[in-house]
Amino acid sequence: MKARRSVRMGGKPRLLGGKLAAVRLPIRTRRLILRAPVTSDVESVYRALRDETMGRFVSGRPRPYTRVHATDFVSGARRKMRRGEMLNLIGVDARTGELSVAVGLYNLNWKDRHGEIGYWVPRRLWGQGLATEAVIAVCAEVFRHTNVHRIEATVEVDNEASARVLTKAGFVKEGTRRHAHLHGTSWTDADLYALLNEGSLAPSGTVLGNRSGRNRVLKVKKVVAGVRTSPP
Ligand SMILES: CC(C)(COP(=O)(O)OP(=O)(O)OC[C@H]1O[C@@H](n2cnc3c(N)ncnc32)[C@H](O)[C@@H]1OP(=O)(O)O)[C@@H](O)C(=O)NCCC(=O)NCCS
């Protein structure tokens, strides 16, 4: 009964269930509309992720990447979002509708109130600030509408573009996870980054954050100011 309520409201199927249901979709930024993937995205997802250069850093991506994998990505994303297990958004160009970025929030832990973010941009669109714009907007919306307090990202040490995205979005590097990923027979280290929602309430009702925390929140808000999110 409870699960049914999280999926349907007024007879209309909901895209997001569980504790993610409060996040309003689509999320709009200056250049992007971030929304749930639909069947017509399959071909664009396939074309982006079959690129081996770009796919190397996408965790869990099957090799070789086929249209069946892209179809599973879209249907799996919708199913998991309805269950409130993860957020898996496609960002399309607000003017042309072209697939421009994908952003996911997964490994959600509602007890300790954290999740992990991942993202990719089709290779021909790299270097235009699209990943940063999408990451900032998604983190802002998740912090605004859920009680998630910490968003983490794990970045292979040679993925400098991704590390730069996180730094621009206000994430702080916390350390290095040695041998975090196995590629064939070789291990790679990965850096752990995190963004905290310093202004959120602890379960006890205590306001978290200290002086340096407030400064960081201000810094993030300044960046977020350039991002227009969807109205309530
Ligand atoms: C990482 C990725 C999402 C970045 O997307 P993007 O839209 O190009 O990112 P942005 O334009 O917002 O920012 C990229 C930044 O990295 C910088 N950069 C790009 N390549 C770099 C490199 N080899 N070394 C150092 N910096 C680099 C860019 O100059 C830019 O920084 P700047 O704005 O200060 O100039 C994209 O490269 C991608 O899809 N990679 C494959 C998947 C992936 O790695 N996902 C993340 C897994 S953790």
Which residue has a Cα nearest atom 16 of ligand 1? 161
**Nearest-angstrom CA–CA distance, 155 and 211:** 28
Ligand 1 geometric centre to CA of 90 (Å): 17
2, 12, 17, 142, 155 from 5: Cα distances, Å:
5, 11, 9, 21, 37
Regarding the beta carbon of 158 and ligand 1, being less than 6 Å apart is answered no
Can you give the residue ranges of every domain in the chain?
12-224
DSSP conformational letter for 175: E
The CATH homologous superfamily for domain 12-224 is Gcn5-related N-acetyltransferase (GNAT) (3.40.630.30)
**What is the model's pTM?**
0.86
Tell me what pLDDT residue 12 has: 57
User: Within the chain, which residues score under 70 in pLDDT?
Assistant: 1-13, 199-232
Residue 131: CB atoms within 10 A of its CB come to 26
DSSP state of 208: P
At residue 216, the pLDDT reads 41
Nearest-CA residue for ligand 1 atom 29 is: 127
Does the Cβ of 57 fall within 6 Å of ligand 1? yes
pLDDT per position as a tens digit, 115-159: 999 999 999 999 999 999 999 999 999 999 999 999 999 999 999
Atom of ligand 1 nearest to the CA of 126: 8
**179-200 pLDDT, tens per residue?**
999 888 999 999 999 999 986 5
Q: What is the DSSP letter of 201?
A: B
In angstroms, what is the span from residue 130 Cα to ligand 1's centroid? 9
Ligand 1 pocket member 157 (CB < 6 A): no
Return the pLDDT at 11.
53
Closest Cα to atom 41 of ligand 1: 54
C-beta separation of 84 from 17 below 8 A: yes
Q: What share of the chain is helix, strand, coil (3-state, %, to 5)?
A: 35, 30, 35
Residue 164 φ/ψ, nearest 5 degrees: -65, -40
What one-character-per-residue DSSP string does 58-92 give? STT--SS--HHHHHHHHHHHHHHHHTTS-EEEEEE
